[in-house]
Amino acid sequence: LEAKEEFEHSSLAVDVMRPRRSDPPLAVLTQDSMTLGEVEALVESTHYSGFPVVVSQESQRLVGFVFRRDLLISIDNARKRQEGVVSASLVVFTEHAPAQAPEAPPFTVTDHTAMDITVDIFRKLGLRQCLVTHNGRLLGIITKKDILKHMAQIANRDPDSILFN
Ligand code: ATP
């Protein structure tokens, strides 16, 4: 992320995160209460690169984050190789997928975190997305692209013209 000098220091994570007020709600998966059919329907009806996993829709307590591509691979494997897997099967998200390195928990900031700090975190940790919480409840998501768009808005120029590595 370049163009630090153009960054408005008064912006907060809540100003940059999605969903916006007019957007559909955050697409989340629940830890152990969705069927395979429900998970597939959610994945197919959206184009997001990933989905936060929460304890339950009511609690919105964050437990993890799953990338769309990993989810599609797991579903494909389960459908092909696991016996008795049907659309009504329950999908359970665990921290340590078998035969995989343990996933790092998703990075979070609170809604009141200043955007200059958030941008610093993105840069230093090389994040592609970060989740936003309020009192421990999941509120939204900020992707690298959301930050770029926000910076471009501040600088009032084309987002594609900003260098980003
Ligand atoms: P693109 O796919 O165009 O490269 P991107 O790099 O921001 O965009 P995506 O994950 O596809 O990555 O997110 C697209 C937009 O949707 C972003 O504004 C992001 O904040 C938002 N978003 C990402 N994941 C979700 C989700 N699970 N539910 C709701 N909104 C999301």
Rounded CA Rg of the chain: 17
Best mutation site among 49, 62, 109, 151 for ligand 1 pocket (most ligand atoms within 8 Å of CB): 49
| pLDDT confidence of residue 155 | 82
**Protein residues whose CB sits closer than 6 Å to any atom of ligand 1:** 18-19, 26-27, 47-51, 141, 143, 145-146
In angstroms, the Cα distances linking 144 to 62, 113, 128, 150 are: 20, 16, 5, 10
| pLDDT confidence of residue 8 | 46
| pLDDT confidence of residue 6 | 53
| pLDDT confidence of residue 153 | 86
Quote the ligand 1 centre to 165 CA distance (angstroms): 18
Per 3-state DSSP, the chain is made up of helix, strand and coil in percentages (nearest 5) of 35, 20, 45
| pLDDT confidence of residue 105 | 74
Best mutation site among 29, 30, 46, 48 for ligand 1 pocket (most ligand atoms within 8 Å of CB): 48
Enter the CATH code of domain 4-161: 3.10.580.10
Domain boundaries along the sequence of the chain: 4-161
Strand partners, 140: 132
Q: For each of the chain's 165 residues, which pLDDT tens digit applies?
A: 665 555 545 799 999 999 999 999 999 999 999 999 999 999 999 999 999 999 999 999 999 999 999 999 999 999 999 999 999 999 999 876 655 555 667 899 999 999 999 999 999 999 999 999 999 999 999 999 999 999 888 887 655 655 554
Report residue 24 as tokens.
């559909």
Q: What is the ipTM of this complex?
A: 0.97
| pLDDT confidence of residue 159 | 53
Quote the ligand 1 centre to 88 CA distance (angstroms): 28
Quote the ligand 1 centre to 148 CA distance (angstroms): 13
